[in-house]
């Protein structure tokens, strides 16, 4: 007998029919003797609609009332799921965030979970009642409804799994797992059986959209095994049809490279002839940080004359113009030329085996060179190498790296 938290995303509860399909899976888990807690998102598209309603009335609306409105989508699916489970002969009841309670801090619209007293849920588990918990929402200490930020119900599920010490947290979605790269771009992409939390975090941060990065962080901190699987597949979670995201120690055969990711959502900013003196980097990046601009890949050249140097970094495309205006207003940068290049892509390879193998960077750079792709900047971490290239070579680079690192699924493409 296992304790499992199962979460259904918006497309998996998009209408009463889909909810019944999800309820069948919960029933199958219970029949196997498992104790289950269910977490649901709002029906696909509903939260967007609710956000839009708020903005129609007041684009800068009060975050307390914004949360009261946008949390309501999950109330509907929670009740409907409990009804569908009751129809299948199971005891079940719904829980809103405040009823669990999921106690959050006061940052409305992007609240963080402080604690989850487990008594109410333990009570359900002991009495074979399937608790159906609203994802995405909680309650602040002052008793107001709060939400965790868009995509937050993955985080709800993992937090509950940690609170009741579940054996696994199954995230049902519309894809059947995590892939070595984007299967829409590379038909030879293959589904990963297992990835480590660290790899998944890098992949999520780099654009693999299957899981909310915060939920992966939380799963790693609490050591909750996660599974991503499709609710459109007839199999249930306990048959392990999806991708398991687990601690590195639980992966026997560590792949050197497990994934190739890309993002076209960044712009490259180049500052020419920046005065080369102590404190200059801080005086550039501190104001950007204060303006909420997230800076990635940073490269600073050595100064040929000891007086000035060039600096390159990336920011989200949507923030490029604001970056330029913040920097132009700085006294230290008067006379410095600021260039923006929007036609770039960041291509990354990710793998935990990388930290103990040499030659990975060489393979990456040689492969790009063989395809006549120029590298504009490079960054690395223990388990990742990212390069900036001309956007028009994105697909070529991803495909070439995918096969260079032997990730191509045989017999496809």
- Report the interface residues with ligand ASP, using CB under 6 A: 10, 41-42, 47, 73, 135-136, 150-153
**Per-residue x/- mask for Mg ion, residues 374 to 393, rule CB under 5 A?**
--------------------
End-to-end Cα spacing for the chain: 42
How far is Cα 384 from Cα 297, in angstroms, rounded to an integer?
A: 12
User: How far apart are CB 292 and Mg ion at their closest, in Å?
Assistant: 23
How far is Cα 253 from Cα 286, in angstroms, rounded to an integer?
A: 42
Query: Of 335-364, which residues contact Mg ion (CB under 5 A)?
Result: none
- The 8-class DSSP code of residue 62 comes to -
The entry of ligand ASP, Mg ion, none that residue 73 binds, CB within 5 to 8 Å by partner kind: ligand ASP
- Total residue length of the chain: 413
User: How far apart are CB 307 and Mg ion at their closest, in Å?
Assistant: 50
Taking the least distance from each CB to ligand ASP, the nearer of 8 and 405 is 8
Does residue 97 belong to the site contacting Mg ion (CB under 5 A)?
A: no
Taking the least distance from each CB to ligand ASP, the nearer of 5 and 336 is 5
The entry of Mg ion, ligand ASP, none that residue 177 binds, CB within 5 to 8 Å by partner kind: none
User: How far apart are CB 258 and ligand ASP at their closest, in Å?
Assistant: 25
User: How far apart are CB 171 and Mg ion at their closest, in Å?
Assistant: 8
User: How far apart are CB 27 and ligand ASP at their closest, in Å?
Assistant: 23
**Secondary structure of residue 324 in the 3-state scheme:** helix
User: How far apart are CB 141 and Mg ion at their closest, in Å?
Assistant: 26
Query: Of 77-96, which residues contact Mg ion (CB under 5 A)?
Result: none
Query: Of 9-28, which residues contact Mg ion (CB under 5 A)?
Result: 9
Taking the least distance from each CB to Mg ion, the nearer of 151 and 213 is 151
Phi and psi angles of residue 204, each rounded to the nearest 5 degrees, phi first: -65, -40
Taking the least distance from each CB to ligand ASP, the nearer of 138 and 351 is 138
The entry of ligand ASP, Mg ion, none that residue 136 binds, CB within 5 to 8 Å by partner kind: ligand ASP
The entry of ligand ASP, Mg ion, none that residue 150 binds, CB within 5 to 8 Å by partner kind: ligand ASP
Task: Identify whether the C-beta of residue 283 lies closer than 8 Å to the C-beta of residue 271.
Answer: no
Query: Of 394-413, which residues contact Mg ion (CB under 5 A)?
Result: none
Taking the least distance from each CB to ligand ASP, the nearer of 22 and 320 is 22
Distance, CA of 179 to chain centre:
14
For 303-308, the CB contacts below 8 A with 24+ separation are 303/276, 306/276, 307/275, 307/276, 308/273, 308/274, 308/275, 308/276
For 60-68, the CB contacts below 8 A with 24+ separation are 63/108, 63/109, 64/108, 64/144, 64/145, 66/108, 66/109, 67/108, 67/109, 67/111, 67/137, 67/144, 67/145, 67/146, 67/147, 68/144, 68/145
How far is Cα 98 from Cα 349, in angstroms, rounded to an integer?
A: 42
User: How far apart are CB 90 and Mg ion at their closest, in Å?
Assistant: 25
- Nearest alpha-carbon partner for 334 in 287, 284, 298, 295: 284
Task: Identify whether the C-beta of residue 394 lies closer than 8 Å to the C-beta of residue 264.
Answer: yes
List the one residue from 63, 97, 135, 151 that touches Mg ion (CB under 5 A). 151
DSSP states of 295-308: ---EEEPPPSSSSE
Which listed range, 110-118, 150-158, 273-281, 357-365, lies at the site for Mg ion (CB under 5 A)? 150-158
Taking the least distance from each CB to ligand ASP, the nearer of 63 and 135 is 135
How far is Cα 96 from Cα 294, in angstroms, rounded to an integer?
A: 33
How far is Cα 87 from Cα 221, in angstroms, rounded to an integer?
A: 37
Which listed range, 148-156, 178-186, 351-359, 371-379, lies at the site for Mg ion (CB under 5 A)? 148-156
How far is Cα 146 from Cα 67, in angstroms, rounded to an integer?
A: 5
User: How far apart are CB 179 and Mg ion at their closest, in Å?
Assistant: 17
User: How far apart are CB 106 and ligand ASP at their closest, in Å?
Assistant: 20
Query: Could you tell me how many residues of this chain bind Mg ion (CB under 5 A)?
Result: 2
Interface contacts to Mg ion, rule CB under 5 A: 9, 151
């Amino acid at each position: 007998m296992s304790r499992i938290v199962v979460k259904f995303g918006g497309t998996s509860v998009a209408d009463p029919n889909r909810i019944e399909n999800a309820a069948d899976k919960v029933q199958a888990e219970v029949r196997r003797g498992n104790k289950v807690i269910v977490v649901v998102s709002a029906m696909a598209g509903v939260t967007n609609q609710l956000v839009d309603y708020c903005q129609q009335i007041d684009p800068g609306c009060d975050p307390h009332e914004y949360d009261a409105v946008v949390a309501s989508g999950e109330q509907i699916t929670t009740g409907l799921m409990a009804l569908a489970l009751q129809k299948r002969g199971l005891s079940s009841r719904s829980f809103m965030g405040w009823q669990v309670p999921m106690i959050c801090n006061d940052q409305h619209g992007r609240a963080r979970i402080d604690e989850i007293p487990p008594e109410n849920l333990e009570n359900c588990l002991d009495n074979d009642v399937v608790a159906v918990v609203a994802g995405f929402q909680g309650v602040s200490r002052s008793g107001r409804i709060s939400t965790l930020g868009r995509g937050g119900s993955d985080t709800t599920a993992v937090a509950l799994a940690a609170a009741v010490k579940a054996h696994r947290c199954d995230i049902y979605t519309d894809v059947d797992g995590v892939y070595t790269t984007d299967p829409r771009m590379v038909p030879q992409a293959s589904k990963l059986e297992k990835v480590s939390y660290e790899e998944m975090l890098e992949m999520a941060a780099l654009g693999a959209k299957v899981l909310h990065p915060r939920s992966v962080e939380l799963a790693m901190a609490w050591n909750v095994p996660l599974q991503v699987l499709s609710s459109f597949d007839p199999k249930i979670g306990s048959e392990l049809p999806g991708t398991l995201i687990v601690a590195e120690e639980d992966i026997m055969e560590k792949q050197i490279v497990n994934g190739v990711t890309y993002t076209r959502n960044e712009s490259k900013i180049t500052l020419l002839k920046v005065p080369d003196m102590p404190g200059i980097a801080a005086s550039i990046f501190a104001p950007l940080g204060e303006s909420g601009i997230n800076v990635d890949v940073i490269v600073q050249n050595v100064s040929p004359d000891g007086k000035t140097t060039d600096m390159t970094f990336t920011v989200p495309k949507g923030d490029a113009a604001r970056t330029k205006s913040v920097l132009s207003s700085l006294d230290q940068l008067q006379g410095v030329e600021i260039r923006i290049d929007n036609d770039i892509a960041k291509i990354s390879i990710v793998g935990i085996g990388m930290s103990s193998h040499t030659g990975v960077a060489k393979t990456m750079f040689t492969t790009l060179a063989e395809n006549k792709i120029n590298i504009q900047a490079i960054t690395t971490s223990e388990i990742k190498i990212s390069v900036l290239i001309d956007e028009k070579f994105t697909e070529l680079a991803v495909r070439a790296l995918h096969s260079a690192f032997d990730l191509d699924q045989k017999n496809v493409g």
